[in-house]
Amino acid sequence: MERSLAEKVIIALDFDSPEAALKAAGSLRGTGCQIKVGLELYTRAGLDFVNRLTEMDFKVFLDLKLHDIPTTVEKTFRLLINSEAHMFDVHCLGGLEMMARAADLCHGAGKKLLGVTMLTSIAGSEMGSIGLSGTMTDQVLRLACLARRAGLDGVVASPREVSALRAECGEEFLIVTPGIRPTWSEANDQARAATPAEALRAGSSFLVVGRPVTQAEDPLSALERLWD
Binding site for ligand C5P (CB under 6 A): 12, 14, 38, 120-121, 178-179, 188-190, 208-211
**Cβ–Cβ under 8 Å, residues 98 and 89:** no
| Least separation in angstroms between CB 104 and ligand C5P | 26
**Which residues touch 131 (CB under 8 Å, ≥6 apart)?**
none
Q: Which is nearer to ligand C5P, 38 or 70 (CB)?
A: 38
Residue closest to ligand C5P when measured from CB atoms: 210
Query: Of the candidates 141, 149, 61, which has an alpha carbon nearest to the alpha carbon of residue 98?
Result: 149
**Cβ–Cβ under 8 Å, residues 194 and 161:** no
Q: Which is nearer to ligand C5P, 100 or 165 (CB)?
A: 165
| Least separation in angstroms between CB 47 and ligand C5P | 18
| Least separation in angstroms between CB 97 and ligand C5P | 26
| Least separation in angstroms between CB 26 and ligand C5P | 19
Q: Which is nearer to ligand C5P, 38 or 151 (CB)?
A: 38
Catalytic residue among 36, 59, 65, 112: 65
Q: Which is nearer to ligand C5P, 98 or 208 (CB)?
A: 208
- Is 23 known to be catalytic? no
d(CA 22, CA 61): 15
Annotated catalytic residues are 65
